[in-house]
Structure 1
Amino acid sequence: MDPLSVTASIIAVLQLSGKFLAYLNDVKDASKDRAQCAIEASTLYSLLVNLRCRLEEGSASQPWFTAVRALAVENGPLDQFKQALELLQAKMTDGGRLKKAGKALVWKFKKEEIASILARMERLKTLVEIAIHMDHLKLSQAIKDDTNFLRTHAPVIQSGVDTIRQDQDSARHRRLLEWISASDYPAQQSDIIRHRQEGTGQWFLDAPEVARWLNEANTILFCSGIPGAGKTMIAAIAIDHLLNTARNSSHGIVYVYCNYKAQEEQDVSSLLAAILKQLVQGRLSAMEPIERLHQKHADRGTKPSLDEIYSALRDVLTHYPLVHIVIDALDECQNATRRQLLAKLRDFQAGSDVRFMVTARYIPDIEDAFRGALRLEVQASREDVKRFVAGQIFRLPTCIQRSAALQEMVQERIVDAVDGMFILARLHIDSLLDKRTAKDVKINLSKLPKGAAALDVAYRDALERIEGQLEGDRALAKKVLSWITLAKRPLTTAEICCALAVEPDETTIDPDNVPNSEDLVSVCAGLVIVDTESAIIRLVHYTTQEYFERIGDAWMPDSQFHIASTCLTYLCFSDFQSGSCSSDKDFEARLQEHQFLDYAAKNWGVHARATEAEIADLACEFLHSGSFSCAAQILRVSRYRYEGYSRHYPTTTPLHELARLGLAGIAERILSTATEPVTQALNAEDSWNDTPLTIAARHGHCELANMLLDNGAEVSAHGGHYGNALQAASAGGHEQVFKMLLDKDADVNAQGGHYGNALQAASAGGHEQIVKTLLDKDADVNTQGGHYGNALQAASARGHEQVVKTLLDKGADVNAQGGGYGNALQAASAGCHEQPDRSVKETLRRPGLPMYIGCGVAVPKKPPGQDVRLEHTQDEALHHFHTLRRFSRHSCTCRSQTRSIPPTDPNWH
């Protein structure tokens, strides 16, 4: 090895040592080992610099050079130390990635690891010191001794290396799982089961229906119940039982807690992604489908489609012999979401042993969806309620705790009053908290409400207790309850405390004005609780939300104005006047430091819509400030993280943002004060080429779209994802906006955008009336272009039978080629929808037309009784087989490389 190679090895070690020193200097809350490491690393660094200088000044002919070369041989002292530093760096930076902005570097090393690091430093330091003294004989012997030491201790060193690599893999797996789904249902499970009174719910576990669900393949258990009956606790008990009994088995256990506050976030893709995440967490060997999706989407900032998540989940299911899925509160999902979700779960049962349990209130369409399933009504049994009340005695006044007779009376009276509702038992217990004498307790117990109206009476009693508090506590309780009730998503305690600390006309938060989260709970008379694991503050029950929605305007007037003005005041803070952040690091640091910023930026407009006239001045101030671009960045960036994601979003004008929100009055005021020509502002494109009119049409804001047109917006302006406003309205099915645009002479055949034209957009969305109107207005039924190729393909791919019939009646060419699927029949066969598209396939069939089945590929026509051979990869073939089985009117059997279709119908191919 020449001197240059030795120098290069030293330089490599110096570079890594410099990074290690920087980490040691910046790390927070480290043990005293950090200081010792820093001293030794610094000393070694100086010695290596000295040695490098000696090499550059010396002569290669000297015997000393021969000895020094041995330091840099493969797997020699320098190489060993370099490898160790590389592994340390990976651990310091969480697998090679930079730390999250705003988070301090933390000490990640155990005491044994520090001992190993110091030992390596000491050995190399000794060698370098000898080398600097230019004693080649002593250096040669020292290197030989060090080599023998490494050989002897190789297993220990390798074990340390393996540990660090395992940590790297774990960090990488965590990032991938967080990328596919940010949900944390295990935290919710921990919060819920923590409140279980020991022994409650045993009746459920002992039920024969539960035994069948646990033990029979592909069973479905539907557990319905009245509001407040304890369905969520029963779901948690079922999950806890599964987790305990299957702890060491190969069975999959996943669960979802639906939430009325998170309906937009809990769409079908998100729910399936959460299920996928939990299954892979239970078997990291099944990570490959998520890795594949990450490779495809992460760098582009896109998110996996529903079909991609469905396919990945199907692949992961093959790693489990059986899977139990528990879904709580299905009724709190949107109607379309729950229909699709149930269809997907039933699809999984076709190829795997998937047993799912669902809890929900009595809702007709949900009841219909579970006809034929195992059914078990959830009701608070007397024994469970009594155990629950007994477990709450410690919270009650001293007069009850000191009297066994009074305790027995409390239990019996509350059990008699609740009529199967756990939530009512909790409210009745809270009603006793301020009763200080036995007489007051007895009077209260004699008045406990019963029957259908009992919940409302209990809630009214709680509000009376709030009204009876000191003025400051009463005002705080009303603010807390209005925030939680009207918030568009669940709030953390940090967020609501920050919001409550915002003061009008201030430009920053006074730390002395931030309330304590425990006080927020105590002043709300038992109507508010905090989930410990997730730090979410919420109403005690879904029925509490419904109650406040009924009485909110009377009990909490001006709440929407208060919330909207709080959001806007916060957004106008001086910290945000600098505008958007220029890097991911700065962006994440800003969100970490300002905990209410995410909610305020994403939801100010929704709250402003309810009080637009009153909030207009403050809204205009915000829209004209530097804070506007700060909020726009937070609102627009993708939740999927990749390098540069924080800069990948459309830069917009205030008018674009108001168009998205539908704030017509504020938009008109913005136009009236514009410094540029009005037509220029009206037709301005954002960085993704969308105009305010297109955005308003896409979101169905008719009043705002009409205002824009009356002021001079161009009705057929081209550009953006949808091409024009008519295509945007058609895609969303917004008939009112659609008709208004037609009245303004929008061109029905205008081309461009993702869908190619308005007819294809409406066909893809299944908006039958819009399709008919476009055809009546002479829209060209066979125009080619866009993602699907033509309108018939778009309707076929999405499974919209009536639209397919309408298009065919108007002369759509069933054999037209092109687009993403090739033709309409392939599009119908490829789609994965909530209902089998046999009717679409039959509608498309014409005499003499060969039937092709497959996902974008043609399957050769075969005589009845012969095999259909698919020459594809195993995954592709399996997907095509499920497609065949799904859309065929006949049974399908599966063999290793073929999918055989028994002969029944000579027309079936």
Structure 2
Amino acid sequence: MDPLSATASIIAILHLSAKVLTYLNDVKDASKDRAQCAIEASNLHSLLVSLRFRLEEGGASQPWYTTVRALAVENGPLDQFKQALETLRTKMTDGGRLKQAGKALMWKFKKEEIASIMARMERLKTLVEIALQMDNFKLSQAVKDDTSFVRTHVPVIQSGVETIRQEQDSIRHHRLLEWISSTDYPAQQSDIIKRRQEGTGQWFLDAPEVARWLNEAKATLFCPGIPGAGKTMIAAIAIDHLLELAQSSSHGVAFVYCNYQAQEEQDTSSMLAAILKQLVQGRLSAMEPIEQLYQRHADRGTRPSLDEIYNALRDVLAHYPSVHIVIDALDECHDGMRRQCLDKLRDLQARRNVRLMATSRFIPEIQDAFRKALRLEVQASREDVKRFVAGQTYRLPRCIQRDAALQEMVQEKIVEAVDGMFLLARLHTDSLLDKRTAKDVKSTLAKLSKGTAALDGAYREALHRIQGQLDGDRELAKIVLSWITFAKRPLTTNEICCALAVEPDESEVDPEKVPDVEDLVSVCAGLVVVDQESAVIRLVHYTTQEYFERTRDAWNPGGHLHIATTCLTYLCFKAFRSGGCSTDKEFEERLQQHQFLDYAAKHWGQHARAVEAEVANLACTLLQSGLLSCAVQVSEISDYKYRKYRGYSIRYPKITALHCTAWFGLASIAERVLSTVEEIATDAVNAKDSWGRTPLLLAAEQGHGDTAKLLLDKGANVNAQGGHYGGNALQAASEGGHEQQVVKLLLDKGANVNAQGGDYGNALQAASKGGHKQVVKLLRDKGAYARLDADDHMTSFHLFYWHSI
């Protein structure tokens, strides 16, 4: 290596050290380690500048130059210092990515890591100081000693660098996976399998149908069962078995737990994205398709389309010889989404070795969809029910625990009564919790309900036990059951505890009013459970939800009013009077500090719609003040908290009160808002928000026919174009399949059935894209046509679908 090459190495290090010094000065929460590191790096930077000029001034024939060149050999002192600088830069900036995203630089080093970096700096500083003395013999000896040291320690140093790189990759992978899907089905799996009574469900794993499904290429297994038969537990047992097998094989496993309370969030895209996430977690080498989607969408704040997620999933499946996918509670998924999701999964199954399993109640449409599949009915066996009841003995009164004969009687009587329903076994077991004598236990066992009405009888008995509690416990149970029953999505324990602490006419939550979640569960007579891994509080079963919805007028007619009032009161808190947050950090802190804000902002209008007249005054307080921008920011942004591009939190639409009422379908409140606006009503109803959307487009998109009619009667332009998609109200209503509510209304009011524009193309293509046959037929009857030129974006599938009707 000639002196010029040594000089070039020093110049490269000087450029890098200048950047690192800038980062070190910008680090948030600076520590003593950071300060000392900055001082040493600065001192060494100055010494290297002097050495560079000394090299440039001298002649290559001098012996000193020959010795100095040894500093720049591979893995030599200069190389080691460069590695130290790279380590500092990488860990502080996540390889430069966090710096680009505008994130604050953080000091993330452990003491031992900094000690290693400082040691490398100190060794090079000593060598450079000797080099600047121009003492060739002393420099030769120092370089020789340092070379021996490096030869011994290079493997350790390289190992440390590799560890840091692996940590950075792990953080990046986590961020990408959370971006593609924030669902955590593995946490649900952990919660469910923990409740398995040892030995139960073995009959399922031993069944020949399961053996065929496990080993036969592209096999499908359908597992129907009556409500409460234990289908979800069987799915969890199957998943647990698959995950265990996958540890010693290269096969993939993914699963989805459908939830009746999460239908809005569990569309086809989100379900496929959750499957994609799990398969990539199992094989990080298959991360590339997600990285490509992230690069395409994250900086723009957009989400991948269904087709993009499908294509990414198809590519990831190619990394596995076979994949088992389990979908639990398919009947709890929305009809249209269920069909669409099954179509996509079957298309993947036709291309790859995908083995699909699904559980469901006996729904004719679902059974027909699986008529060619392997079939294994889920039914709680006598042995499993008996094991379950025996496993619950520790919870039962002492009169049962100390009497073996009474325990046997409890097991036998409950087994006889439940007729293959695990849920009923649980409810019947819970009915014994307050029986303190053997006589009371036997009397209760003699009256256990049986047959098709057994569940309703068990729920009535549970409510009777609730009614028998102290006044405070009884009222608390009623409110808790209302919240969980009427909630628009699953609630976390923090959310419900915060909601229960909200008091009318107060402007903040009193911490002393927040209840303990254990008390919430205790007063609800076994009807409420908490999933520990996901921290979700829920009803014990889907049938519990159905029962309370059927009987709500009898047990709690004021549920929606209480929830709507709570949401609106919370959104009017003084903490939100400043409006939307101006920075990502401020926004994230607001969400963390105010646990109920996410739910209240997103769903207040849905609850208010059921009791519009009663909450109109409170709603107008929110709508006609600076408070609205806070609620809008949260409702539009909080789902995207993993999109860590700079300024993501301020990318939400600036809307009017009328836009908000149109979105939620609050027709009477919208009319009240119109009566107070200063401008002409026609101007107000045709005003566009910052994303170019009119109130009519929002009402049509959500299928709110009464609100759409009000807006049209007040002069809304039925053919106005706008919004992200550049479409109109008819296209939005058609894509959503809102035939009766909105599409007919818009057509009757003069909507142009063949209006072109935006990503939808036209209304016919929008309806076809959404798979809404009746809307397609209605539009065709009104003269809609499909153009075949490229500008219309009509795919071959959509054309086939259109012509097949």
Both proteins in one fold, TM over 0.5: yes
User: What amino acid is aligned across from residue 397 of structure 2 in structure 1?
Assistant: P
> 1:499 aligns to what?
499
The question of whether the paired residues in 1 share the 8 Å contact of 2:27 and 2:107 is answered with no
Deviations 1:532-586 (A, max 9, x none): 1111111111111111111123212211111111111111222222222233333
Matched with 1:183 is 183
1:791-806 equivalences in 2 (<5 Å)? 793=794, 797-798=797-798, 801=801, 803-804=802-803
The alpha-carbon distance between structure 1 residues 104 and 694, as it changes in their structure 2 partners (threshold 3 A), is: closer
1:339 counterpart residue number = 339
Give the match for residue 162 of structure 1: 162
Q: What is aligned with 2:683?
A: 680
Q: Specify the SS of the correspondent of 2:622.
A: helix
Which residue identity lines up with residue 690 of structure 1 in the other structure?
R
Aligned to 1:740: 745
The counterpart of 1:641, out of the listed 640, 643, 649, is 643
Partner SS state of residue 722, structure 2: coil
CA-CA distance at 1:117 after TM superposition: 3.5
Query: What is the aligned partner in structure 2 of residue 400 from structure 1?
Result: 400
**Quick one: which amino acid aligns to residue 696 of structure 1?**
A
What residue is the counterpart of 2:17 in the other structure?
Answer: 13
Q: What secondary structure, in the 3-state scheme, does the structure 2 residue paired with 1:690 have? A: coil
Return the alpha-carbon distance in structure 1 between the equivalents of residues 560 and 22 of structure 2: 54
Aligned partner of 1:588: which letter?
A: E
Match of 2:666 among 659, 663, 667: 663
CA distance in 1, matches of 2:786, 2:351: 38
**Deviation of 1:531 (Å):** 0.9
Match of 2:40 in 1: 44
2:189 alignment partner AA: Q
- Aligned residues of 1:602 and 1:635 also touching (Cα < 8 A): yes
Partner of 1:243: 243
Aligned residue for 2:551, secondary structure, equals: helix
TM-score, normalised to structure 1, is 0.80
Q: Is the 8 A contact 1:501 1:515 kept in 2?
A: yes
Alpha-carbon spacing, 1:359–1:783, altered in 2? closer, same or farther (3 Å) = closer
**Identity fraction in percent:** 69
| Cα separation, partners in 2 of 1:648 and 1:4, compared to 1, 3 Å | same
Distance (Å, rounded) in 2 between the aligned partners of 1:553 and 1:115:
69
2:702 to 699, 704, 728: 699
Q: Aligned equivalents of 1:367 and 1:224: distance in 2?
A: 8
Assess, with a 3 A threshold, how the Cα gap between structure 1 residues 127 and 602 changes in structure 2: closer, same or farther.
farther
1:749 Cα offset (Å): 5.2
For residues 364 and 742 of structure 1, the distance between their equivalents in structure 2, rounded to whole angstroms, comes to 34
**Counterpart residue number, 1:588:** 588
SS of 1:798's partner is helix
CA pair 592-700 structure 1, distance change in 2 beyond 3 A: same
Trace 1:603-618 onto structure 2 (pairs within 5 A).
603-618=603-618
Deviates most, 581-590 or 351-360: 581-590
Q: 1:177: Cα distance to partner?
A: 1.8
Does structure 2 retain, via aligned residues, the 8 Å contact 1:101–1:586? no
Distance 2:787 2:373 in 1: 46
1:462-511 deviation digits (Å, cap 9, x = unpaired):
11222222222222211211111111111111111111122222222222
**2:624 — aligned with what?**
624
Residue 52 (structure 1) shift:
8.0
Relative to structure 1, is the Cα distance of residues 138 and 670 closer, same or farther in structure 2, using a 3 angstrom cutoff? Answer: farther
After superposition, the Cα gap between the structure-2 partners of 1:400 and 1:782, relative to the gap in structure 1 and judged at 3 Å, is: closer
CA distance in 1, matches of 2:531, 2:403: 32
Show the counterpart of 1:200.
Answer: 200
In structure 2, the partner of 1:116 is: 116
Flag the 1:199–1:101 CA change in 2: closer, same or farther, 3 A.
Answer: farther
Counterpart of 1:312, as a letter, is: A
Matching of residue 601 in structure 1 with residue 604 in structure 2: no
Q: Could you tell me which of 689, 709, 722 is aligned with 2:712?
A: 709
Q: Which runs of 5+ in 2 are unaligned?
A: none
CA distance in 2, matches of 1:267, 1:171: 28
Shift of 1:268: 1.6
Partners of 1:683 and 1:691 within 8 A in 2: yes
Q: 1:755 to 1:115 in 2, by over 3 A?
A: closer
Alignment size in residue pairs: 792
Counterpart contact for 1:224–1:378, Cα < 8 Å: yes
Output the CA distance in 2 between the equivalents of 1:507 and 1:52.
61
**How much has 1:412 moved relative to structure 2?**
1.6
Q: Is the 8 A contact 1:671 1:678 kept in 2?
A: yes
Q: Secondary structure at the match of 1:312?
A: helix
Name the structure 2 match of 1:362.
Answer: 362
Contact between 1:50 and 1:132, CA under 8 Å: does it hold in 2? no
The question of whether the paired residues in 2 share the 8 Å contact of 1:583 and 1:646 is answered with yes
CA deviation after TM superposition for structure 1 residue 732, in Å: 3.7
Name the aligned partner's letter for residue 716 of structure 2.
A
1:4-53, Cα deviation, whole Å (9 max, x unpaired): 99688457436525645775845xxxxxxx86x45752652564477589
Instruction: Determine helix, strand or coil for the equivalent of 2:221.
Output: strand
Residues 1:730 and 1:206: Cα distance change in structure 2 (over 3 Å)? closer
Contact 1:701 1:737 in 2 (8 A): yes
- Structure 2 CA distance for aligned equivalents of residues 568 and 77 of structure 1: 65
* SS, match of residue 357 in structure 1: strand
Q: Distance in 1 between matches of 2:595 and 2:252?
A: 36
Checking the alignment, whether the CA contact within 8 Å between 2:63 and 2:136 is kept in structure 1 is: yes
Secondary structure in structure 2 of the residue aligned to 1:229 = coil
Shift in CA distance, 72/560, structure 1 to aligned 2, threshold 3 Å = farther
Q: How big is the shift at 1:235?
A: 0.8
Contact 2:27–2:104 (8 Å) recurs in 1: no
Point out where structure 1 has 5 or more consecutive residues left out of the alignment.
Answer: 27-33, 805-838, 841-909
Q: 1:125 to 1:407 in 2, by over 3 A?
A: farther
2:792 maps to 788
TM-superposed deviation, 1:738: 3.5
Contact 1:9 1:72 in 2 (8 A): no
SS in 1 for 2:356: strand
Q: Is the 8 A contact 1:750 1:758 kept in 2?
A: yes
SS at match of 2:392: helix
Contact 1:6/1:69 (CA < 8 Å) preserved in 2?
Answer: no
Question: CA 1:148–1:20 in 2, change beyond 3 Å: closer, same or farther?
Answer: farther
Cα distance in 2, alignment partners of residues 757 and 183 from structure 1? 33
The answer on whether the counterparts of 1:756 and 1:786 sit within 8 Å (CA) in structure 2 is: no
Give the superposition deviation at 1:82: 4.0
Question: Once the 2 structures are TM-superposed, how far is the Cα of residue 281 of structure 1 from its aligned partner?
Answer: 1.6
> Which structure is higher in helix share?
2
- Is 1:326 the counterpart of 2:326? The answer is yes
Does the 8 Å CA contact 2:76/2:150 hold for their aligned counterparts? no
| Change over 3 Å in CA distance of 1:754–1:53 after alignment to 2 | closer
